[in-house]
Amino acid sequence: MAMLALKPPMGWNAWNQFGPAWINETVVRETADAMVEKGLRDAGYTMVSVDDCWMTLERDENGDLQADPVKFPSGMKALGDYLHERGLQFGLYAGAGVLTYAGRAGSYGYERRDARKFAEWGVDLLKYDFGYVAPGTDAPELYKRMGQALRECGRDIIFSGCYGINTSHEWMRSCGAHMWRLRGDITDQWDSIVDSAKTAMPLGAFSGPCGWNDPDMMVVGLDGDGWASGKGWMSEDNRCRGCTVNEYGAHFALWCMLSAPLLMGHDVRQSKPEIEKILLNRELIAINQDDLAVPAYTLPPMSNHDIILAKPLYGGDIAFLLLNETDSPKKMILSWECCGWEISDRIKVRDVTEHTELGEFTTGMYSYVEPHSAKVFRATRL
């Protein structure tokens, strides 16, 4: 079998926009076509994942999971074939309990049968959630069951563990997972984005080829209009209002620096130009997909509790991110003394968010960062 998820997976997942209520095969097929048309596939976004509610509550007469005949009348194999014909990959969701979180048939006690069926359908990634499990059930045991079933199913399938507890990084890899959720669901608001990123920041040592920290699917471009914004299940007064372009840009930059899986969550068919510009930043994608595969680490703050990340890159460059999570503009100071370079080294710096060369520096540099924003620099020692 091949080594899977050597780099953070990239693609799209239906949940943050469509949730359990609005997902269907037309949405998935149109999204796949839009990903090809807009150049997202060619930029690396190849995974197209269907989340909860694709299946019925009851299994068929053979004990197999079956597609919801209203939402997915053509069945899941036909959907997988459609994606593969377009050079995309097929992601699917299942639950480790007797029911999924949305009340559909779970995989508890059917792990090997389900894994064989996923292989038959051409599934390339399984997102495996944890809900409605028997009292006293051991989570690592259930993930080991499915991990082993996937290894025996006859097809290479990336195993995405969705336990959503901040200790999952300690044991998920041993269960066969290639990525693991670090916390509960992200929402379409700035504080949730920052909190999700901060959960991942100290855990870089657990993340690398074939096993990645997952701070959750992205909310870039939801604009307060998706399931992760509260649409369909929260009152208008309590719904998330979405984020600014700067906030979404910082969100994407953080995920790239943290070597997180880049799974879009918005309605790709309706992408605005400013959102496509964020998601198609090839320089940031290159940092996320860098061959060295080392996630960013935090630097000691120079002042005012600054959050500054450094990500070593293959060939010797270092990427730096300056995050201003506050409500006011901030002058932020960057020093590379803690990254292995000398204070007197000559360093060439490029702004990869604006695609501009900033020149040469010694001792360090500073930059003004707008509120709720991030800047990313790629630095080369001369």
294 by DSSP, 3-state: which?
Answer: coil
CA distance linking residue 319 with residue 313, whole number of Å: 7
Q: Distance from first CA to last CA of the chain, Å, rounded?
A: 42
Q: Are strands 158-162 and 125-129 parallel, antiparallel or unpaired?
A: parallel
74 by DSSP, 3-state: which?
Answer: coil
CA distance linking residue 129 with residue 115, whole number of Å: 14
Q: Which of 107, 65, 106, 91 is nearest to 9 (CA)?
A: 91
| Residue 108 structure tokens | 């508890």
Q: Which of 203, 198, 202 is nearest to 180 (CA)?
A: 203
Alpha carbon of 16 to those of 23, 133, 188: distances in Å?
11, 24, 9
Q: What is the DSSP letter of 251?
A: H
> Which amino acid is it at 221?
G
CA distance linking residue 54 with residue 70, whole number of Å: 10
Annotated catalytic sites, by residue? 129, 185
| Residue 136 structure tokens | 């006293």
